[in-house]
Amino acid sequence: MSRRSKISTTVVATSLAITVPAIALAQETAPAEVTVDFSKSRGAYLHPERYNNVSRARTFPEQRDADVEFLNANGLHGKVYKVWVDAHLILDAKTGVYNYDGITDYLSDLSRLSETLLVVMDTRVMVRDAGATPEQVKPVVKTILRELKQRFPKIVYIEAFNEPDHNLAKVVKPGDLYAFYKPYYEAVNELNRELKPKVPMQIGGPGFMQYNELWTNAFLDDFKADRTPGKRIDFFSWHGYGRFPEGTGETTGPRAYHFYKFDPSEVASERGRFEKALTSRGLNTKIPAFITETGIYPGPSFDNAKDPHADALTGAAGVTALHYWYMENPRTIPFNWVMRHFSEERKDQLATRAGAGNPIPTRTFTPYGNAMAMQAKLKDRRVAARSNALVQGKGVYAIATSDKSGAAVMVWNYQHTDSKNFDLKIDLGRLPANLKGKTLRERRYRIDQNVSNYWTDPAKANLQMVSETIVVPTKRHSVSVTLTPNALELVELEPVSTAKGK
């Protein structure tokens, strides 16, 4: 819940006030403070909501046109969207015929949703099930990418493999994986020379299911030893869920199912470990890290086994917390996962499971999707924001931003399954120069167990503005917010003339 600005602010008029159901407060409520300093820039804000995943082409195709239109209309037009291309569904291994019919509408739709596409060029069936060699993989990869790049020029990033430390671990050892990567970069290099595309393709991977030191070290050793001219890794990728055993069937050891949901701040160390591995081999430490899947519920995991909807708000706050810590490192880009999942609704950004006999909804966010829509309202320059109530990845998070249009601060209370509430003061201090002395429109948006939550009120499932107030800030500006467990709130300030009609 929120309270209107009351410190160092003159309230001129209230043009909107939404009454929401009262949230039963847990026993513990603590004071907290977020301090914002607009004079301390942290550079361009990454906008992680613009890095996203969709499932494979066969997943919910009937909803895809509406999904693309809806996400574009809600600020979620992508910088990079990850899409899936399965070699075995295009190439008939018996006849040698390539058929792209199953993928073209999918890639056409997603080309309307993002500036660029990242293609997972998945050859696991060839390698794992058919025993293909690297020499046999290369012509397939090259043929498919030639056709797709010509048809869909927004394809820029090629990710070799998807979780090979899980999906290929029974047939490929860590020291053998690079041999299967080499055909990918050779094919990309050759196609860039042959096609001369306006935006050349980049190649990276290996898309490990975690930051996996055993597999990463072996891969980097082989990359260093590769004497081929033109060898390249344009980005290095892994997934951010936790630390788990490789897919060999062995489930013991130090990675035996350690989830990041208990302390999302653990992911902040991954970039440093990666750069240490690069440095020790004399490799370029500026290689971007793409965390091409993230989440607090990997696979079919859960906190509430009988009620996936109870986990929806936890997931929304948890993924946002993971991304916060990844963004604390340079050249590290976390991707959201996923628009609609084929089976696990805890991962859905769009409401997909409406109950037996009910049609699949369209144009309807889950709390996770609303968290992304909320992030899209943040401004383009990040500034310093400090919370005094964030310990071991739990508590009050804050991201503060500004640009020529105004200022916006997003706060959230990641509790996982704990139950602490916070009475939060957001001290905005001295506002940016373009807001000083102006009448401002202050808008509040909220996501919690009652608000912007499909499973509480489907009619008001999408991101709800819970107040709109005209204020005249004085020397220092503050607002107050009450954050229940896993609730998220955005405070947006814009000059009345700029905000009019928005």
In a domain, 272, yes or no: no
Please report which confidence band the pLDDT of residue 113 belongs to, taking 50, 70 and 90 as the band edges: very high
Out of 375, 393, 417, a domain closes at 375
Give 261-272 pLDDT, tens digit per residue.
999 999 999 999
pLDDT at 25: 45
CA pair distance 160, 207, nearest whole angstrom: 7
Tell me, yes or no, whether 358 and 439 share the same domain: no
pLDDT at 251: 84
User: Average pLDDT of 301-325?
Assistant: 96
Tell me, yes or no, whether 134 and 36 share the same domain: no
Q: Is the pLDDT of residue 15 over 90?
A: no
Tell me, yes or no, whether 196 and 126 share the same domain: yes
pLDDT at 498: 59
User: Average pLDDT of 129-137?
Assistant: 98
Give 217-238 pLDDT, tens digit per residue.
999 999 999 999 999 999 999 9
pLDDT at 7: 32
Tell me how many domains the chain contains.
2
Tell me, yes or no, whether 460 and 361 share the same domain: no
Give 37-62 pLDDT, tens digit per residue.
999 999 999 999 999 999 999 999 99
pTM of the model: 0.94
Tell me, yes or no, whether 36 and 158 share the same domain: no
pLDDT at 250: 87
Range of the domain at 85: 48-264+341-375
CA pair distance 50, 89, nearest whole angstrom: 28
Give 162-193 pLDDT, tens digit per residue.
999 999 999 999 999 999 999 999 999 999 99
Residue 388: exposed, middle, or buried by beta-carbon count in 10 A (0-12, 13-18, 19+)?
Answer: middle
In a domain, 275, yes or no: no
Q: Is the pLDDT of residue 212 over 80?
A: yes
Tell me, yes or no, whether 8 and 57 share the same domain: no
pLDDT at 252: 83
Tell me, yes or no, whether 246 and 392 share the same domain: no
Please report which confidence band the pLDDT of residue 474 belongs to, taking 50, 70 and 90 as the band edges: confident
The residue type of 227 is R
Q: Is the pLDDT of residue 8 over 70?
A: no
Question: Kind of pairing, strands 114-122 and 155-160?
Answer: parallel
Tell me, yes or no, whether 140 and 20 share the same domain: no
User: Average pLDDT of 113-133?
Assistant: 98
CA pair distance 6, 93, nearest whole angstrom: 69
User: Average pLDDT of 209-223?
Assistant: 97
Out of 349, 375, 401, a domain closes at 375
By the 8 A CB rule, do 157 and 237 touch? no
Tell me, yes or no, whether 438 and 475 share the same domain: yes
Tell me, yes or no, whether 252 and 358 share the same domain: yes
Q: C-alpha distances in angstroms, 339 versus 76, 209, 367? A: 11, 19, 12
In DSSP terms, 385 is beta-bridged to 36
pLDDT at 206: 98
In a domain, 283, yes or no: no
Which parts of 267-317 are beta strand (E)? 289-294
Q: Is the pLDDT of residue 102 over 80?
A: yes
Residue 257's CATH number: 3.20.20.80
CA pair distance 138, 273, nearest whole angstrom: 31
Tell me, yes or no, whether 115 and 9 share the same domain: no
pLDDT at 21: 42
Out of 352, 375, 398, a domain closes at 375
Residue corresponding to tokens 């660029």: 116
User: Average pLDDT of 338-351?
Assistant: 97
pLDDT at 20: 41
Tell me, yes or no, whether 254 and 161 share the same domain: yes
Q: C-alpha distances in angstroms, 27 versus 140, 421, 484? A: 60, 8, 11
